[in-house]
Amino acid sequence: MSRRAATLTLTSVLVLVFALVGSFMPVPYVALMPGPTSNTLGQNDKGQPLVKIDGREVYPVSGNLNFTTVTYRGGPGARIDLFTALRGWIDDDVAIVPEETIFPKKETQEQVDAENTRQMRDSQQNAEAAALTQLKVPISTQVLVDAVQKGKPADGKIKPADEIIAVDGAKVTSVAQVSELMAKRKIGDPVTITFKRGGAEQKITLTTVAVRPPGGAERAVVGIELSDQYKFPFKVDISVGDIGGPSAGLMFSLAIVDKLTPGSLTGGKFIAGTGTITPEGKVGPIGGIQQKMIAARQAGATVFLTPKDNCADAVDARPDGLRLVRADTLDGAIKSLESLNAGKNDLPACPAG
């Protein structure tokens, strides 16, 4: 055998061995890819309106206001192999990120999924609050029990989903008010909690115990975890299936505003976008902007609403044919869409990176 043939043979064997090893070698990385994109003005997989409003007049809508998602491969117990990671590093549509970016250390995949579900729930509530605030529709808040800590005074006496309405007779409508009242209680003090369960009002007196948060001072608690829940004057249902995370908030808000106001925000155009939303209408940054823009363009979008803190990365990765419009607030996003409909071009843009 000639030296050239021997070299080629050895190289082929080494490549084969590397391929075999690579296909079985798990690595602590996650592959992020463009995910499904759904029209918030359209229907979900079950043929029902993705955003459904009952108890209020709604108006016809047209065009698309699509939210975008990212899918992933990998994670604890299902790590990608070395070859998959290498292919992802050279694929412009895929981002390979360290595993802890998606799955924080000491958190299981089930815990991450549960947190994503909670974030989606909160995102939908914030989107409703932002939309109604934008439209100057009065809303109020209530305090709901999220969880009860085992072994603490409230364990077995107060339940998740109970509505806290008073602390020692003082009415409360926000978690901040409850925290302010509890901060005045000393360890061992009795506290009377008034709450509603199934529409019926109940009272219970509990004795506070001490907790010391990491790095914090000792304080008196009864062992309940609370969250603010908005009370809306009519019903808004947002049905997206098992999609999680907070990044569709802006697009949910726009869909609600569009359905509750005459005319069309899109003017029949295919608009997509992303961004978290606060109840006050402030748009926040998200992850996976590159994959979300690719998904939007592949679906047919020509305009992409982009949180300002994602602009630098978005400009560098913008697909051809997709116009980036910076979205700082819900109000600003609405004005941009109205300007688009009017044929104006002086829209807030993402600056070059």
Angle between helices 109-134 and 249-260 (to 10 degrees): 30
Distance CA 275, CA 95 (A): 19
Amino acid type, 210 = A
C-alpha 302/C-alpha 193 separation (Å) is 53
The burial of 78, by beta-carbon neighbours within 10 Å (0-12 exposed, 13-18 middle, 19 or more buried), is given as exposed
Rg (CA), the chain: 25
3 state SS of 254: helix
Contact of 260 with 58, CB cutoff 8 Å: yes
| Distance in angstroms (rounded) separating the CA atoms of residues 233 and 104 | 38
Which amino acid appears at position 282 of this protein? K
Please give the Cα distance from 96 to 291 (Å, whole number): 11
Name, in order, each residue with C-beta under 8 angstroms of 180's C-beta and a sequence gap of 6 or more: none
Angle CA 72–73–75, to nearest 5: 105
The C-alpha angle with vertex 319 and arms to 97 and 32, in degrees rounded to 5, equals: 20
Q: How far apart are the first and last CA of the chain?
A: 56
Instruction: Write out the catalytic residue numbers.
Output: 247, 292
Q: Strand pairing of 303-307 and 276-277?
A: unpaired
Output the six-digit token pair for 291.
Answer: 């994959």
